[in-house]
Structure 1
Amino acid sequence: MANYVPRTARRGIIASPVAFTAVKVISQDNIGVNQNIQFENVVLNDGGGFHANHGIFIAPVGGYYLFTTSFLHPPGPIDIRVGLMHNGRLMAKVSGYVTWDHSSMTLVLKIAAGDEVWLENKDVGSQSIYGGYYSSFSGVLLHQL
C-alpha cells in the first residue's frame, strides 16, 4: 500500500470551496449600457472571488461553475436586458419588462483561473434594478479542473 493515493486526491477534490452570494440592498438607478450591476451585500464569499465594489467574480481556480441571478425591475418606460458576461463576452441575456417584473437565469460555464464573470445592463441606458433584498447574484464551483 505504499503507492496508495487517497480517492479524494485522485479526483482533485477542492481543499477550499468556492461559492458566493451577493444581494442588492440599495436600488441601482440610471444604469448605463454595458455598466456593471453591483451587489453590495455579500452574504457568502468562500474562496474570495467576488468583488462587491465592481460586481465581478474572479475565479480563484478553473472549473465548471454554476451562476444564477434574480433581479426585480421596477416600472419604467422600457424593459431592461441583463447580460451575464464572461471575460467581456456575452453568454446569455434575461429581460425584465416595463412593470414590476422579477426575472432570473442560471448558467453553467467552464472557466479558467483568473477569468471574470459579471452582470451588466445591455441595450438600453438609464435602467434600474430594485434593491430591498429582491435582487441577487450567486456562483458556485461544481467541479475543479
Structure 2
Amino acid sequence: MLLGKWKKMMLSLNATLQNVGRELAFERQARQQMEKHLPAKQGLITRQASKELEVAFFAYIGSIEQHLGAGQIVVFDKVITNIDSTGSIGGYHASTGVFTAPVDSLYVFYATLMAHNNHASHYLIVHENQSVATILVDGSNHWFDSASGSVVVVLSRGDTVSVKQLESGDHALQGAPIAGESSFSGFLLRQHFRGPAPIG
C-alpha cells in the first residue's frame, strides 16, 4: 500500500517537474525575444538622456552694491556656478545681472538679499520687465536684515529674469565679507514644458 502511494507521489512529482520545465522553456524563449529588442531600446534611452539639458547658475554680490535707484538691476558679480549645456544664448551674465533662457522650459529662481546697515527697500524678481515677486529688506534702525524670495516660471527661449530695485532713492545691499549675503540663483526644472497658459 505504501509502495502504491509512493509511486503515485513520484508520478505526480514527475508531472509537476515536466510542467515546470515547459514553463521555464517558454520563459527562456520569451526572454530571448525581448533581448533581441533590448539594444535598440537602450540606445533610444541613451539618446534621450543625452538630450536632457542642464541649465543652472548661482552668483552673489562681491562687495557692497551702493546707490541703487528705482528700476536698477542688481548685479551679482561673483559667479560660483553657471552651467548651460545648450551652448547657446542662455545663462547668467555677471556683467549685467540678467539670466537669459536658452530654451523653452520651466525654471526656478531664488534671490536672497541683505540690506546694508541703515537701508530698507523693496526688490523685485522680474521676468521680461514684469514683476513676479517682491522682497522687502528692512535694514533701518542701524540693523542689517535679509529676506528671500523664489519663483517658478515658464520661460520662452530668450526671455530674461533679473532682480531689480523698486523704489527711488539711495539704497545699498550688503556684499560678501564672507560669501553669499546677497545671492541670485536659478535652474531649469523641466525641459520643453507645455503646460496651460498662466492665469492673469
Q: Say if 2:93 is the partner of 1:46.
A: no
Structure number with higher strand proportion = 1
Say which of 150, 162, 167 aligns to 1:106: 150
**Residues 70-85 of structure 1: pairs in structure 2 closer than 5 A:** 70-76=112-118, 79-85=120-126
TM-aligned CA deviation for residue 71 of structure 1: 1.3
Q: How many angstroms apart in 1 are the aligned matches of 2:44 and 2:167?
A: 51
Aligned CA-pair RMSD: 2.1
Q: Say if 2:173 is the partner of 1:129.
A: yes
Letter in 1 for 2:66: D
For the residue of structure 1 that corresponds to 2:103, the secondary structure is coil
Say which of 128, 148, 158 aligns to 1:87: 128
Letter in 2 for 1:92: A
Q: TM-score w.r.t. structure 1 length?
A: 0.89
Unaligned runs of 5+ in 1: none
TM-aligned CA deviation for residue 12 of structure 1: 9.0
Contact 1:13 1:144 in 2 (8 A): no
TM-aligned CA deviation for residue 9 of structure 1: 5.5
TM-aligned CA deviation for residue 8 of structure 1: 6.5
Q: Which structure: larger Rg? A: 2
For the residue of structure 2 that corresponds to 1:6, the secondary structure is helix
TM-aligned CA deviation for residue 123 of structure 1: 2.1
Letter in 2 for 1:144: Q
Quote the residue 2:137 is aligned against: 96
Q: Which runs of 4+ in 1 moved over 3 A?
A: 1-5, 7-13
Contact 1:12 1:144 in 2 (8 A): no
Letter in 2 for 1:32: G
Unaligned runs of 5+ in 2: 1-36, 85-89, 193-200
Q: How many angstroms apart in 1 are the aligned matches of 2:50 and 2:62?
A: 37
Q: Say if 2:163 is the partner of 1:119.
A: yes
Q: TM-score w.r.t. structure 2 length?
A: 0.66
Q: Which has the higher contact order (CA 8 A, sep 6+)?
A: 1
Q: How many angstroms apart in 2 are the aligned matches of 1:106 and 1:141?
A: 14
TM-aligned CA deviation for residue 11 of structure 1: 8.3
Structure number with higher helix proportion = 2
Say which of 97, 100, 116 aligns to 1:58: 100
TM-aligned CA deviation for residue 18 of structure 1: 0.2
Q: Percent identity?
A: 27
Contact 2:105 2:190 in 1 (8 A): yes
